[in-house]
Amino acid sequence: MDLHPTGTCFDDASQIFVELVYRFPLDRVRLVHGMTGDGKGVVGSHAWVEVTNDEGKVAVFTEGLMNGERRRGSLSRERFYEMLCVGEDVIRYTAEEALILDMKYGHCGPWEPRYRAATKDGR
């Protein structure tokens, strides 16, 4: 079964991020904003969380809809990037950076103009 977009990925990722910074060392958790595609070109901006383990492997934590219900999941960064056609246009925020930007803009992203322009609501 496929995990489908919620349409609220920036809010979802921020919530997951806050939960994970309490479970893992701060230097291993990043809130990530980036551009995703469909294999033919850029589709839009997206948000997720990456956590690096002791061996240096990175897992992506995300939320989506499956059979009409919200589900959380994790998978390797390589697989996630492959599935969503994530390119090199990503920004990985530390907890401090994310907090500062959240306070500055009054929302959990996207904060970069190019990512805002690629969202449905343009916030």
Instruction: Tell whether 15 is covered by a domain.
Output: yes
SS3 of residue 59 by DSSP? strand
Please give the structure tokens belonging to residue 105: 């803009």
Instruction: Tell whether 78 is covered by a domain.
Output: yes
> Residue 25 phi/psi, 5° resolution?
-60, 140
Q: Are 101 and 107 in contact (CB under 8 A)?
A: no
- How much is the pTM? 0.88
pLDDT of 88-120, one tens digit each?
Answer: 999 999 999 999 999 999 999 999 999 999 886
How many structural domains compose the chain? 1
Across the range 72-81, mean pLDDT stands at 92
Per the structure, the complete domain to which residue 75 belongs is given by 9-107
Amino acid at 46: H
Instruction: Say whether pLDDT at 2 is over 70.
Output: no
Residue 52 is predicted with a pLDDT of: 97
Instruction: Tell whether 94 is covered by a domain.
Output: yes
Instruction: Tell whether 3 is covered by a domain.
Output: no
Instruction: Tell whether 32 is covered by a domain.
Output: yes
pLDDT of 38-58, one tens digit each?
Answer: 878 778 899 999 999 999 999
Q: Rounded to whole angstroms, how far apart are CA atoms 52 and 102?
A: 23
Instruction: Tell whether 100 is covered by a domain.
Output: yes
